[in-house]
């Protein structure tokens, strides 16, 4: 039942918009040749070849004999033309005494026939009467069957060995020729200059970042001009921003503007199961980029390999650190005439190793902030160009109601609106579809929940308490919507939408924000004379905010302007397991007391104002039980807000 907006962070999907347009080549490949056939096709070819060889062997073994009928065979025995026979089940083979048209090395004609019935002793008696030597053998498989029985298990074993060997080669060595022996080569994807590319015109907003990057673009276009002036190209540029703000897209735009080769790789792609592979791939990638300078190397998610060294539990000497050391040495190894720029992106600059940020490496930082209102409108315009929009769609209003959305969030919002239009079988996307998409992104999808009438009443008064408190405290964010329809993990929600994203929080605003968080609990206590567990998240958020006010922001007269935070850092983020606390137990007790006093005083003020406006609270809750969802305009028409504020001013006076 937490109030306020919810934000979901997503990877930069904008950076992947043009993946279907750009044809990525094989890692560090010039021509983008097709990959080799899959492993199973090679195994199949091998087995087919083996069967063909066995079939040829069988044909050759039978080519020296002639087929005769059973009647002819008995006539030749009676005539005394048969020299010897071999009986094997139904099959009879032998040699004739006549050598007129012999086809055997001994000058005797080889023949074969079949006995119609098993166990026919008549033919045996006939052979004995004519003095024909008889050799009897047990019936068994033919030569092909015997060969298959002998060699098929070995063929299967050899085929499986080839299959798993080639699979291991592809996993370790990528799609390049060489397999296992080429796994040290870089897996960077290279985009050619003549392919469709992104430019700054394809990116809405981020004007300050574009200005910072324009100098890099100009240098890559005219490196000789700057070299004559004695200027050195900045070797590293670090782009910092929240997920979804367009870091990867901006790097591609720089390559597109400069019209130079672009090598793209993620930080996690350097690391493999074998020690030394990451460092080898770094060397190979920089070597290939130098050959095609001027060029750009883009490393996404730099924090995957660039965390502070020596922070690991086992001493820190691992594959990741070797890869980082190689990157540091390669960036130092650039000569003055090598126009290669390394652009890296991360959303965690605080965990990077200091050696990465020193002058000569990633000494230039470009910050990509979340877009402002005008930029959000431009981004929405880009993502809705191919959508049939209805006349009632106002992208400016959508941008105003999406404070804090990153570019990827806005792209997802437009896509969700199109999906809602499809569910309604609508030929155009309407404004209500954008409202539904926004509610789903912020508050989660609606879900069915069986609640009793008493539970619904408690939830209605809880959310009405949040909403009315937001109206009674002037510094609180404007009320946007209140609902008792379960969404996500919450049974009810009160949404507030600030006019613009706040970059600085004053003490009065923070107090009113805590007041809104405590409004639901205060409403329950006022109406039902008890509280429920529905305020768990509200209390948790209020406590966190109050503790920041006291221990970090210096908003307590008792503690004063001191930072006495005792937060712990995780080892996996690149810092120590914990920080030593630099304040006493007495100070810790004072902090706890100040946090408790701050929250208690705000709660008392909320209780007083809700009690003075109980009639308005009950009216709002009863209407919410009937309608389930109320917009800000509905609440304004339902409550006399102006009269409430006048009443409140008179009592305070």
Q: Which of the residues are catalytic?
A: 463
Is 246 flagged in the annotation as binding?
A: yes
632 three-state secondary structure: helix
At which residue do the structure tokens 């080549």 appear?
25
Is 242 flagged in the annotation as binding?
A: yes
Is 466 flagged in the annotation as binding?
A: yes
CA 35, distance to chain mean position in Å, is 25
Going by C-alpha positions, the residue among 487, 526, 502, 505 that lies closest to residue 621 is: 526
Radius of gyration of the chain (CA): 40
Query: Going edge to edge, which strands form the sheet with 479-483?
Result: 493-496, 479-483, 629-631
One-character DSSP codes across 228-282: HTT-----EEEEEE-TTS-HHHHHHHHHHHHT--EEEEEGGGG--SSTTHHHHHH
Is 312 flagged in the annotation as binding?
A: no
Answer for the pair 507, 445: CB distance below 8 angstroms, yes or no. Answer: no
Is 80 flagged in the annotation as binding?
A: no
At which residue do the structure tokens 């993990």 appear?
489
At which residue do the structure tokens 């015109």 appear?
201
Is 317 flagged in the annotation as binding?
A: no
Is 243 flagged in the annotation as binding?
A: yes
Q: Where are the alpha helices (DSSP H) in 529-584?
A: 536-551
Instruction: Pull the structure tokens for residue 20.
Output: 């279907």
- CA angle centred on 74, ends 68 and 78, rounded to 5°: 130
Is 244 flagged in the annotation as binding?
A: yes
Cβ atoms within 10 Å of 432's Cβ, excluding its own: 16
Is 649 flagged in the annotation as binding?
A: no
One-character DSSP codes across 617-648: HHHHHHHHHHHSEEEHHHHHHHS-HHHHHHHH
Q: Output the CA–CA distances (angstroms, integers) from residue 527 to 460, 464, 483, 617, 647, in the order listed.
A: 11, 11, 19, 9, 21
Q: Residue positions in the annotated binding site for ATP?
A: 241-248
Q: Residue positions in the annotated binding site?
A: 241-248, 462, 466, 538
Q: Residue positions in the annotated binding site for Zn(2+)?
A: 462, 466, 538
């Amino acid at each position: 039942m937490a109030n306020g907006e919810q934000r979901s962070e997503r990877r930069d999907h904008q950076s992947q918009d043009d993946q279907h347009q750009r044809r990525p080549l094989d890692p560090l490949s010039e021509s983008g040749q097709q990959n080799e056939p899959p492993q199973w096709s090679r195994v199949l070819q091998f087995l087919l070849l083996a069967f063909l060889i066995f079939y040829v062997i069988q044909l050759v073994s039978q080519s020296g004999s002639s087929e005769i009928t059973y009647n002819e065979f008995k006539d030749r025995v009676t005539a005394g033309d048969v020299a010897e026979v071999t009986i094997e089940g139904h099959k009879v083979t032998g040699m004739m005494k006549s050598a007129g048209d012999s086809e055997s090395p001994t000058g005797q004609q080889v023949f074969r026939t079949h006995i119609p019935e098993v166990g026919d002793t008549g033919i045996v008696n006939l052979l004995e009467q004519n003095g024909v030597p008889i050799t009897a053998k047990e019936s068994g498989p033919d030569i092909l069957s015997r060969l298959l029985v002998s060699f098929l298990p070995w063929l299967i074993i050899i085929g499986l060995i080839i299959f798993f060997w080639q699979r291991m080669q592809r996993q370790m060595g990528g799609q390049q020729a060489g397999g296992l022996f080429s796994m040290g080569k870089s897996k960077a994807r290279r985009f050619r200059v003549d392919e469709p590319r992104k430019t700054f015109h394809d990116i809405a907003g981020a004007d300050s970042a574009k200005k910072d990057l324009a100098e890099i673009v100009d240098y890559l276009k005219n490196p000789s001009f700057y070299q004559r002036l004695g200027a050195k190209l900045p070797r590293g540029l670090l782009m910092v921003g929240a997920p979804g703000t367009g870091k990867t897209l901006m790097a591609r735009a720089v390559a597109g503007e400069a019209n130079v080769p672009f090598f793209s790789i993620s930080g996690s792609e350097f690391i493999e199961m074998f020690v030394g592979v990451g460092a080898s791939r770094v060397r190979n990638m920089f070597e290939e980029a130098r050959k095609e300078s001027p060029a750009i190397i883009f490393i996404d998610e730099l924090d995957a390999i660039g965390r502070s060294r020596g922070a690991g539990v086992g001493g820190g000497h691992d594959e990741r650190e070797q890869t980082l050391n190689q990157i540091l040495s390669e960036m130092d190894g650039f000569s003055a005439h090598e126009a290669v720029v390394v652009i890296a992106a991360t959303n965690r600059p605080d965990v990077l190793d200091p050696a990465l940020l020193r002058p000569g490496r990633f000494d230039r930082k470009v910050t990509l902030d979340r877009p402002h209102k005008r930029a959000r409108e431009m981004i929405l315009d880009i993502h809705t160009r191919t959508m049939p929009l209805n006349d009632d769609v106002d992208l400016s209003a959508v941008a105003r109601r999406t404070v804090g959305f990153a570019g990827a969030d806005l792209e997802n919002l437009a896509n969700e609106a199109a999906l809602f239009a499809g569910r309604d079988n609508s030929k155009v996307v309407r404004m209500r579809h954008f409202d539904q998409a926004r509610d789903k992104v912020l508050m989660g999808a609606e879900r069915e929940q069986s609640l009793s009438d008493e539970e619904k009443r408690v939830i209605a008064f809880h959310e009405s308490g949040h909403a009315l408190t937001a109206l009674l405290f002037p510094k609180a964010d404007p009320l946007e919507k209140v609902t008792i329809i379960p969404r996500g993990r919450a049974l009810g929600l009160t949404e507030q939408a600030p006019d613009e994203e706040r970059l600085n929080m004053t003490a009065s605003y923070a107090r009113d924000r805590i007041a809104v968080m405590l409004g639901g609990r205060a409403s329950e206590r006022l109406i039902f004379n008890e509280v429920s567990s529905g305020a768990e998240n509200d209390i948790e958020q209020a406590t966190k905010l109050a503790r920041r006010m006291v221990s970090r922001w210096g908003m307590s007269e008792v503690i004063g302007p001191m930072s006495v935070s005792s937060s712990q850092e995780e080892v996996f983020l690149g810092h120590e397991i914990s920080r030593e606390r630099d304040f006493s137990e007495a100070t810790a007790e004072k902090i706890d007391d100040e946090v408790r006093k701050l929250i208690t005083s705000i709660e008392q003020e909320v209780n007083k104002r809700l009690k003075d406006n109980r009639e308005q609270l009950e009216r709002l809750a009863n209407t919410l039980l009937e309608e389930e969802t109320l917009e800000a305009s509905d609440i304004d028409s339902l409550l006399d807000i102006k009269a409430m504020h006048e009443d409140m001013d008179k009592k305070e006076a």
